[in-house]
A and B are shown apart, each in its own frame.
Chain A
Amino acid sequence: MVKLSLQTLPRDYRNRGLTEKNLPPNPFQLFQKWFKEALKAQTLDVTAFTLATVSVTGKPSQRTLLLKGFDTKGFVFFTNYESLKGVEIAKKKVGSMLFYWATLVRQVRIEGKVEKLSPKDSDQYFALRPRLNQISSWASVQSRVISGRKFFEDRMEKYEKEFSGRPVPRPPHWGGYRLVPSEFEFWYGRANRLHDRLRYRLSSSGKWSIDRLSP
């Protein structure tokens, strides 16, 4: 079996970790702080996260997405509503997100329910996308089996012609989702596997409670 030598994969745990002291009462604040620090520390794909959903057969299903916005309501991403994740979210409206910022040895897990954005919000974002991405939203039958790369290229050509010389409208099957969190876990890697793990959970009264978890 392939064994991976840890010596060749060094990681730096010389950080001060995460303590209960000075922890903001609201997890969104801590997320924002870490997100900003990630932007400073690494340039590539700070917004990339894994989204896990439940498949129609009840199995876990996951893929990488890019975060397109967040506020105190939740975390926003866009996709084809008829894609695999779209179908899965329509059936079971829950999701979990994971940000892993390797250079900072930090990880944030966010769980909650997933709701559709308003058409207006989706329109707004769609209009900002590069034109070819807009056209590909029409051309793609996302996650469906296709005969070959040519199938998709032909469809691109078809829609390029169709929208030639005018703005590309948002396809009705394309839009945004917002994950509204009920739980956050902030993970900070420390030496000897004694990592810091702090969990925020939303109580029914709307308050966040904080617990430390064993690493």
Chain B
Amino acid sequence: MKASAKKKNNLADIRREYHSGPVRPDRSANPFRYTRYWFQQALRALSVMKREYGKGGLTEETAPLQPYPLFQQWFADALKARLLDPNAMTLSTLGLDGRPALRTVLLKGFDEKGFVFFTNYESQKGRELARKNAAALLFYWPTLARQVRVDGRAVRVSAHESDVYFHSRPRGSQISAWVSRQSQRVPGREYLENLTAEFENRFKGKVVPRPPYWGGFRLVPDRFEFWSGKPNRLHDRLRYVQKGARWLQERLSP
């Protein structure tokens, strides 16, 4: 047990874990690892620039009983369509003043546990989520005329999971995690540039450690809504609501 914990903290292993090899995992033995494998293969296979429009609609007959396979399918379609920023999503939280707050963040991973993104825990969204963890994500893929809304609560990922991702980032982004006191007022751009130079100096020749205030959140969904745009506003809207271990599927009026 001790040895494996030690191994996990080894940076080379962390990197290897992030860029996992081409060995096809056993789907039934480890569905999470299989999903990761599947997506990496999908990303590698992409080479042709293509624009795709909405493929038919969304019907109860064809939609899976679970929301995750449908999300995976739509996400794969978004990747195939070579959209700019297919993993960009809007994250909305409840502001400290009671107003809704939103911004674009990039999805860094997902599985049947939820949707993962990373940030500064002391940023505005970090503080808002610490106070109220209810949050919503919205993916909008315009060329596909599709939208997915995911509602749930955001929980912090483990320190290990944050380390794994932090060490896969470009060095410049790692340094900026030290520089930026995210969402705080700063006197000007020069101030940030000077701080960058300072931290570059401090970590020169060394691995940049993950700042303790920087890490991931996982949005654990209890509700999905899949929206497929159709002519004349006759859009398809299918909602999945979690009821215990099951997902209830219902159609909403467009």
Contacts and interface: CB of A to CB of B under 8 A. Distances in A.
Q: A and B from one assembly? A: yes
Interface of A: 1-5, 8-9, 11, 17, 19-20, 44-45, 48, 50, 52-54, 58-64, 92, 94-96, 98, 100, 102-103, 107, 109, 111, 130, 132-133, 135-137, 140-149, 151-153, 156, 187, 191-194, 196, 211-215
7 contacts: A62-B90, A63-B147, A100-B104, A145-B251, A192-B196, A193-B180, A194-B179
Task: State the 6 A-B residue pairs at the shortest beta-carbon distance, nearest first.
Answer: A192-B172, A52-B100, A132-B232, A193-B176, A60-B92, A59-B134
Chain B residues touching A, range:
35 or more
Given A62-B136, A64-B140, A192-B172, A149 B40 contact: no
A101 to B, nearest CB: 10
B36 interface: yes
B167 interface: no
A95 B60 CA distance: 33
A156 B234 contact: yes
A56 B32 CA distance: 35
B13 interface: no
**Interface on chain A toward B: helix, strand, loop, or mixed SS?**
mixed
A204 to B, nearest CB: 15
B181 A214 contact: yes
Contacts of B104: 98, 100, 107
Contacts of A156: 234
Contacts of A60: 92-94, 100-102, 134-136
Given A62-B90, A146-B252, A152-B254, A136 B181 contact: no
Contacts of A1: 32, 35-36, 109-111, 113, 116
Contacts of A142: 253-254
A59 B183 CA distance: 22
Given A1-B35, A133-B233, A212-B185, A96 B253 contact: no
Given A143-B252, A144-B253, A2 B111 contact: yes
